[in-house]
Amino acid sequence: MKGKTMKNQITIGRCKECRWRDEDGECINYKLHEDDDCDRVTPRVAVQDHLIYTYYEGGGFWVGPEFGCVHWTEKEGVES
């Protein structure tokens, strides 16, 4: 695994090695999404690790290959 494990056991890796970065460079992780009133339906404790943006224009997040985050998940077939 190429990610770096922090003291609290969170693995952070680079987006270029993450399964959530698509071929256009957008992060498609389900934890990054627009405000769909999920906090009214789902208890806030269930979305504490989400990034929720407030605009409703079908937006997304382009991430650079060297960016990284706590939701990093290694791509299948990538050599360590």
Residue 77 resides in a domain = no
What pLDDT does 69 receive? 85
What pLDDT does 6 receive? 54
* Of 1, 36, 5, 37, the residue nearest 17 (C-alpha): 1
Residue 49 resides in a domain = yes
Residue 24 resides in a domain = yes
What pLDDT does 13 receive? 87
State how far the Cα of 26 lies from the Cα of 6, in Å rounded to an integer.
25
- Given a contact cutoff of 8 angstroms between Cβ atoms, the answer to whether 52 and 71 are in contact is no
Tens place of pLDDT per residue across the chain (80 aa): 565 555 566 777 899 999 999 999 999 988 887 776 655 555 665 778 888 777 666 677 889 999 988 888 888 865 54
Which residues make Cβ contacts (< 8 Å) with residue 65, sequence separation at least 6? 14, 15, 16, 21, 25
Residue 11 resides in a domain = yes
Q: How many domains does the chain have?
A: 1
Residue 75 resides in a domain = no
Domain limits for position 60 = 4-69
Residue 64 resides in a domain = yes
Residue 80 resides in a domain = no
